[in-house]
Amino acid sequence: MNLNGLKKSAQLLMLIGNQKSIEVIKQLHTTEIEKIIYAITNIKKISSEDIQIIYSEYKLLFKKIYLENINNNDYCLPLLQKALGEKKTEYILKNIHQKKNLEKHICMLNKTSSKEIANLLSKEHPQFAALLLMHLNLTKSAEILSLLENKKCAHIILRIASSKKLSKYTNDIFSKIINLILLKKNTIANNFSGISYAKNLLSILNKNIKTKIINNIIETNKNLSKKILNQVFLFEDIIKLSNKDIKCIFQEIDTESLFLSMYNMSQDFKKKILKNLSANKLNNFYNFIKNKTFSEVSSRMIQNKQNFIMKIIKLLVQQKKITTNILG
């Protein structure tokens, strides 16, 4: 893939995660944000080759800007070489480097969500999982264990209990294995839609900026804008609309669709929708519940009806019959 600066920036934001991306976005001009969000929405996957190119380029740039005048080896190296000789110095510095790498990786994992680590460890050997959990803080390890399958969890606990068997891993090998785990974590972006990531970024932007960006994307790419709206505005967000808009949506919805679409929703959701039905429609709704013929309601039935109503909402938005800004 031929990557330009904009594409590299978009992919780097996806790779560094939401929190770091937010800090970067805050430093950009509205026009730059708009370009990057648009670039992100067009990303379908990030290849391992692209990840390597982006990280390598960023690393070189970082070193050039920040690390030109920082080199502790200028002090340590001559001192150690004079005291211990070159061989011992090389051995000590190698161990220090491995230890720093290990500490850095453990720190990163301690800050990663327990659910993410559990998902990654579910595919790893229990022996490695045990070693990793022994290095993380206790609360974190307990959270991760609680998210794993009972059988896997039991194998890990057994290996932790017999921890002498784990000593064959050196810091170097352990660091390399953690590197692979972190690489897997980062390459999850391969399966993570740019649409989803764009939605996450949009959710933290100022309302006016967000609306402007979406409107520009609608003008440029209607198909893409529909996909973003599908993620930004969900069925449960209907109660955020005005009473007038809710009445407009549900006045033409048949009673069965109304019942099924609300079946698994919260009491607050149901209460607001029912409050905005006409007296006749409300009466029909209660009669339907009383006389309904089907005994079981499947999740597929519910989803189909919710999708049906969402299509109506999008149509009403296009026709400008809904006045509430559905972008929040």
Q: Over the chain, what HEC string results?
A: CCCCHHHHHHHHHHHHCHHHHHHHHHCCCHHHHHHHHHHHHCCCCCCHHHHHHHHHHHHHHHHHHHCCCCCCHHHHHHHHHHHHCHHHHHHHHHHHHHHHHHHHHHHHHHHCCHHHHHHHHCCCCHHHHHHHHHHCCHHHHHHHHHHCCHHHHHHHHHHHHCHHHHCCCCHHHHHHHHHHHHHHHHHHHHHCCHHHHHHHHHHCCCHHHHHHHHHHHHHHCHHHHHHHHHHHCCHHHHHHCCHHHHHHHHCCCCHHHHHHHCCCCCHHHHHHHHHCCCHHHHHHHHHHHHHCCCCCCCHHHHHHHHHHHHHHHHHHHHCCCCCCCCCC
CATH code of 73-190, in short, is 1.10.220.30
What gap in Å lies between CA 121 and CA 140, rounded to an integer?
Answer: 13
Domain spans of the chain? 1-44+193-232, 73-190, 235-328
Counting Cα atoms < 13 Å in the Cβ hemisphere of 74 gives: 5
What gap in Å lies between CA 324 and CA 87, rounded to an integer?
Answer: 72
Topology alike, domains 1-44+193-232 and 235-328: yes
Q: What mean pLDDT do residues 275-293 have? A: 86
Q: Which of 171-185, 255-269, 280-294 has the lowest mean pLDDT?
A: 171-185
Q: What mean pLDDT do residues 105-132 have? A: 82
pLDDT at 183: 56
Q: What mean pLDDT do residues 115-125 have? A: 83
Q: Looking at the structure, give the CATH architecture of the domain made up of residues 235-328.
A: Orthogonal Bundle (1.10)
What gap in Å lies between CA 220 and CA 42, rounded to an integer?
Answer: 12
Mean pLDDT rounded to a whole number for the chain = 74
Higher pLDDT, 231 or 310: 310
Higher pLDDT, 18 or 240: 240
Q: How confident is the model at residue 119 (pLDDT cuts 50, 70, 90)?
A: confident
pLDDT at residue 285 above 80? yes
Q: At what angle do helices 171-187 and 48-66 cross, to 10 degrees?
A: 110
Q: Which of 19-28, 97-106, 189-198, 209-218 has the lowest mean pLDDT?
A: 189-198
pLDDT at 269: 92
pLDDT at 88: 75
CATH code of 1-44+193-232, in short, is 1.10.220.30
Give the torsion sign (CA, 94, 97, 99, 101): negative
pLDDT at residue 152 above 70? yes
Higher pLDDT, 277 or 69: 277
Q: Which of 124-133, 282-291, 317-326 has the lowest mean pLDDT?
A: 317-326
Span 240-278, pLDDT tens digits: 888 999 999 988 889 889 999 998 899 999 999 999 999
Q: Which of 90-99, 176-185, 313-322 has the lowest mean pLDDT?
A: 176-185
Q: How confident is the model at residue 205 (pLDDT cuts 50, 70, 90)?
A: low
Q: What mean pLDDT do residues 289-312 have? A: 84
pLDDT at 166: 44
What gap in Å lies between CA 89 and CA 138, rounded to an integer?
Answer: 35
pLDDT at 72: 53
Q: How confident is the model at residue 162 (pLDDT cuts 50, 70, 90)?
A: low
Residue with tokens 């407009």: 248
Q: How confident is the model at residue 10 (pLDDT cuts 50, 70, 90)?
A: confident
The pairs formed by 201-210 with CB atoms below 8 angstroms and a separation of 24 or more are 201/13, 201/18, 201/21, 201/22, 201/25, 201/37, 201/40, 202/37, 202/228, 202/232, 202/327, 203/232, 204/18, 204/22, 204/25, 205/25, 205/33, 207/325, 207/327, 207/328, 209/30, 209/33, 210/327, 210/328
Q: What mean pLDDT do residues 305-310 have? A: 90
Q: What mean pLDDT do residues 220-234 have? A: 70
Residue with tokens 């990793």: 132
Q: What mean pLDDT do residues 86-99 have? A: 71
Span 23-56, pLDDT tens digits: 888 888 777 888 888 888 877 777 777 777 877 7
pLDDT at residue 286 above 50? yes
Higher pLDDT, 176 or 319: 319
Percent of all residues in the chain with a pLDDT value above 90, rounded to a whole number:
8
Nearest in space to 239 (alpha carbons), one of 302, 309, 303: 309
Q: What mean pLDDT do residues 213-226 have? A: 68
pLDDT at 70: 44
